[in-house]
Amino acid sequence: METPYRCQCVHPFTCRALVLTGLLVDACLDEEILRQTAAQLIDAWPVLGGQLHRTDILPWALSTGSTVDFQSRQIDLDVEYWTQKGILPPDTITRPTVVHSLHVPQLDEMLIFDVPAEPENVFLMRATVLRDATLLCFGISHHLADGRASSDVIRAFCDLLSDRPIPTLVLPPDARGGRMSDRVVMPRDPLHPIPAIGYAEHLGNFTSGFWPIFLLLAAFMWDAVLCAIGLQEPLEEKFIYLPDSWVNAVRDQALDTLSALPDSPASDSPSDSPPTKNNILCAWYLKTLYDPLPPATTPIDLYGPLDYRPMLQPPPAGQYWLHNSIGLLRQPLTTRQIQHASMAALAARLRHTTLRYTTPHSIQAYLRLCEDHASQRLLPRVRGRGPMPMVLVTPWTGFDLAGLDFSGACRGGGRARVMFVNPLIRHRRQGRWPSAVVSKSLRGGYWMRAWNTRSGWRGVERGAGSGLG
C-alpha cells in the first residue's frame, strides 16, 4: 500500500534528475541474491519502493511502497575488457590525462539498461554479470535523495548482504510538518569571522517567473542551434584521470604561493582554511574550459552542491532519513578572471566562497528560502550570454564507494570489491552546459567525468592549465 508524502525543502534544480551510481565489481555476483537483498532493503526502507508523482503541484509528492525495480542480464565479456579500456590507469601517468579508450556512452550503455528517461519508481537496480565480474547500477530519484544519500543506500544494501543491521528509516522532518531550517545548529559564539550568505543573496542565485525562465531556456536552445550549425563548439563528455601525485604537487605549490602573500582582511582564503584538493580540481577544470576562449569580461557563473547535513541536528541514534540535503554555491566570475588568475588564486577564491556558503547562518537562510518558495519553479540565474555562461562541478570525493563490499552475493564465496566507480547525474539538459563529477580512484588519484569543448580537450592533452611550471 502506498503512502504519499512531500518533502517541503528540496533542491530546486533536481526534481527531474536521476542519481546513478555505476560500479564494476571484481567477481560474479548471484543475481537472485541481489534481487532478494533489494527486496529486503525495500521492505526495511519502504520509501525506496515508492514512486515520484509528477503533477502541477510543487513540490512533487513521493510515496512509500513495495515495488522492487530490479533487472539483470548476462554478457559474454570479462574484466580484462574493461582494464584494457583504462579503468586502472598505470602508475606512469604524471599529469591529467584524457582516457579516450574509456568511451562514456559505451560504459553507460553497459551499466544502464531498460531505464526510462523519467522513471516513476524512485529506486532501481540493474546488474550485468560478466564472465568474471559484475556491473552494478543503483539509481535513485534526485527529488528524494542526493549523492550522499545514494551512497548510504548502497552501503545499507551491502550491510544486508553481510547480515549486518541497518538503521530504522523515518521520514525527514520536512515531510512530517517540520522545517529543516529549524534544525540548523547555530554557533554559541555570536561573532562571524566569515560573512555569511544572506537570504537576499541566496534568492539572487535563482530565476523564477514565467518570462525569466522562458528567456533562460530560450538562450540554452539558441546555444544548441549554434552548435548544430557549426558556429559554436559543442560539448563532448570524457573521462579524465588525475594522479594523486599531481594533485598534491599543485596544491603544495598553491599553498606556497598563498603563504608568500601578505596577510590581509580581504584575503580570499583564511590562512587556517587553505584550498582543498576539491578546490584545486575545480580551478583546474575552469582553466581547461575558459583558457581557450578569447579574453573578455563575459560573466561566468560557477554552481556547486553543498552537503548541509553537518549543520543540522541529526536524527536520533539508530534512525536515518533519506533526503536531498544539498545546498547551492554560486561563484560569479568572468572569462578574463579565470584566464588571468593563477591556480592558487582561483582555488583560494573558491575556498573562501565555500566557507561563506557553509556557515550555519548561510545554511539556515538557504533552507528558509527553499521552504518559502517550495511551490515555485526555480532555475539558476545565469548572467552571461554566449558560450558556456554557466558551469556545474559536483564532488563525490567524500563517498567511500571503493570500500563497498559485495562479498555476500559472490558466487561460491570469496571477496567481491569495487574496481571502478561511474557517477552520473542524469537530467534532460545533459550536455547543454559544462559540468563535471569528481570521484576517487582506487589508485589514489581522481576521476573526473566532464564535459568540455574540443579546444578544451586539446588543451588538456597539451598540459595546458597544469598548474605546474
Segment (H or E) for 105:
helix 104-111
- pLDDT of amino acid 218: 77
- pLDDT of amino acid 44: 97
Q: Is the pLDDT of residue 124 over 90?
A: yes
Q: What is the mean pLDDT of residues 32-42?
A: 98
- pLDDT of amino acid 192: 61
- pLDDT of amino acid 395: 95
Q: Which residues contact 348 (CB under 8 A, 6 or more apart)?
A: 254, 258, 267, 268, 269, 274, 275, 279
Q: What is the largest CA-CA distance in the chain?
A: 64
Q: Is the pLDDT of residue 469 over 50?
A: no
Residue 400 backbone phi and psi in degrees, to 5:
-85, 65
CA distance 164 to 157: 10
CB 284 within 8 A of CB 344: no
Pick the CATH number of 190-312+323-395+429-462 from 3.30.559.10, 3.90.226.10, 3.40.50.10150, 3.40.640.10: 3.30.559.10
Residue 223 backbone phi and psi in degrees, to 5:
-60, -40
CB 324 within 8 A of CB 153: no
CB 96 within 8 A of CB 411: no
Q: What is the mean pLDDT of residues 169-180?
A: 94
Model confidence at 266, pLDDT cuts 50, 70, 90, reads very low
Torsion of CA 215, 217, 222, 224, to 10 degrees: 170
Domain 190-312+323-395+429-462 in the same topology as domain 3-174: yes
What pTM, to 2 d.p., does this model score?
0.93
Give the long-range contacts of residues 75-82, CB within 8 A, separation 24 or more: 75/110, 75/128, 75/129, 75/130, 76/130, 76/131, 77/130, 77/131, 78/130, 78/131, 78/132, 78/133, 79/24, 79/26, 79/130, 79/132, 79/133, 79/419, 81/130, 82/24, 82/133, 82/419, 82/420
Classify 346 as helix, strand or coil.
helix
**Could you tell me how many residues make up the chain?**
469
Q: Is the pLDDT of residue 272 over 70?
A: no
Residue with cell 591529467: 96
Q: Which residue has the higher pLDDT, 124 or 58?
A: 124
**Angle, helices 277-290/343-357, rounded to nearest 10 degrees:** 120
Q: What is the mean pLDDT of residues 191-195?
A: 74
Pick the CATH number of 3-174 from 3.30.310.50, 3.40.980.10, 3.30.750.24, 3.30.559.10: 3.30.559.10
Distances (CA, A) of 227 to 231, 265, 286, 455: 6, 44, 20, 14
The region of weakest confidence among 54-63, 74-83, 98-107 is: 54-63
* Grid cell of 7 as nine digits: 518533502
Q: Is the pLDDT of residue 51 over 90?
A: yes
Q: Closest Cα to residue 448, out of 237, 306, 248, 246?
A: 237
Q: Which residue has the higher pLDDT, 55 or 191?
A: 55
Q: Cβ–Cβ contacts within 10 Å for residue 141, how many?
A: 27
Q: What is the mean pLDDT of residues 66-74?
A: 96
CA distance 8 to 371: 6
CA distance 352 to 279: 10
β-pairing, 236-242 vs 319-320, is unpaired
The region of weakest confidence among 44-48, 189-193, 347-351, 381-385 is: 189-193
* Grid cell of 299 as nine digits: 560573466
Q: How far apart are the first and last CA of the chain?
A: 63
Preceding amide of 46 cis, omega within 30: no
Q: What is the residue extent of each domain of the chain? A: 3-174, 190-312+323-395+429-462
